[in-house]
Amino acid sequence: MGYKIAVVGATGNVGQEILKILDERNFPADEVVALASARSVGREVSFGKKTLKVKNLADFDFSGVDIVLSSPGGKVSAEYSPKAAKAGAVVIDNTSYWRMDPDVPLIVPEVNPHAINEIKKGIIANPNCSTIQMVVALKPLHDAAGIKRVVVSTYQSVSGSGKAAMDELFNQTKGVYMNETATPAVYQKQIAFNVIPHIDVFMDDGMTKEEWKMVVETKKILDSKIKVCASCVRVPVFIGHSEMVNVELENELSASEAKELWRNFDGVTLVDLEHEDLEYVTPQEIQGEDDVYVSRVREDASVENGLNFWCTSDNLRKGAALNAVQIAELWVENQKKAAA
């Protein structure tokens, strides 16, 4: 017997990726409903070989739905996730709205699967894309040697800002070849052939909210004692986030010991071939892949027990849709255990 699933925000970048991954992984679904805002009603989205007609979220009755995979905007989530939870579903919410709620577990299955036992509001939060790939890479290091401090700079793709941002990069770049003046809309500055150190809104202390998310979410998922300084930058890449991560550990851990840990850690692919051209991974190469790719691992002599690495992942998959589906799988497994 399978589950009844509702995908909220089914026409977005992440919603469509969720439908693809549910099918790829043969998720035990008896029925899948695609939901979105009124203006998308009637549109069709693919689910494996099937096509789903998008229904209106506003008047959908969640009774009988087991699992809701939700990636609309934050405001929509604030209203509909509790509604769906009240109707009896478990909601896996991909927005930032619920993540720091103490009664909502924030889960990356490779890192803190035990948090699945702490569902108090019927809602589980899916972390920020940049946080997910970083904590997966950090987990084995933390277990082995204890992480004191992380300094991370990101190189984030435009797909994290949605389809309109991908179109903006595509059209703005094309415009450069036709001598057109760039007119930023999604972003505050030109993104074509440029980098923008500004993701999400600015906060009072000069941090952006994206940077703040990486700090507080890492603490909530991995360990509240870990100190993080995050700097987030948008780059003209369509899909795939990259991060240059500098780690200060409690205890000594050589680069080769760290590599050995990553080689044996589920969810990480370590790239470390003999030939220098393949010694590292770029975002363009891992679009559509599931794993977090770790490369360019080296010791950092500028601090005691320092380590430095490059971490790349498909932000729409592990950074969003895949992690959400993995949480759903974890929940299903947990239900089965409870029933046994």
Catalytic (active site) residue 311 = no
First and final C-alpha spacing in the chain: 15
Interaction mask 279-318, a copy of itself, x per CB under 8 A: xx-xxxx---------xxxxxxxxx--x-x-x--------
Is the CB of 115 or the CB of 234 nearer to a copy of itself?
234
Query: Alpha-carbon distance 93 to 113, whole Å?
Result: 16
Query: Alpha-carbon distance 340 to 338, whole Å?
Result: 6
Is the CB of 84 or the CB of 215 nearer to a copy of itself?
215
The DSSP 8-state label assigned to residue 234 in this structure reads: B
Is the CB of 89 or the CB of 311 nearer to a copy of itself?
311
Catalytic (active site) residue 129 = yes
| Sign of the four-CA dihedral 260, 264, 265, 267 | positive
Task: Give every CB contact of residue 192 below 8 A, 6+ residues apart in sequence.
Answer: 169, 172, 173, 175, 176, 182, 236
Q: Whole-number minimum distance, CB 224 to a copy of itself, in Å? A: 13
Site for a copy of itself in 90-149 (CB under 8 A): 149
Is the CB of 29 or the CB of 186 nearer to a copy of itself?
186
Interaction mask 30-69, a copy of itself, x per CB under 8 A: ----------------------------------------
Is there binding between residue 209 and a copy of itself (CB under 8 A)? no
**DSSP of 244-269:** EEEEEESS---HHHHHHHHHTSTTEE
Q: How many beta carbons lie within 10 A of that of residue 271, not counting itself?
A: 18
Do residues 211 and 232 make contact, with C-beta atoms less than 8 angstroms apart? yes
- For binding to a copy of itself (CB under 8 A), which residues are involved? 149-151, 153, 155, 169, 173-174, 177, 188-190, 193-198, 201-202, 205-207, 215, 227-229, 231, 233, 235-238, 242, 244, 246, 255, 276-277, 279-280, 282-285, 295-303, 306, 308, 310
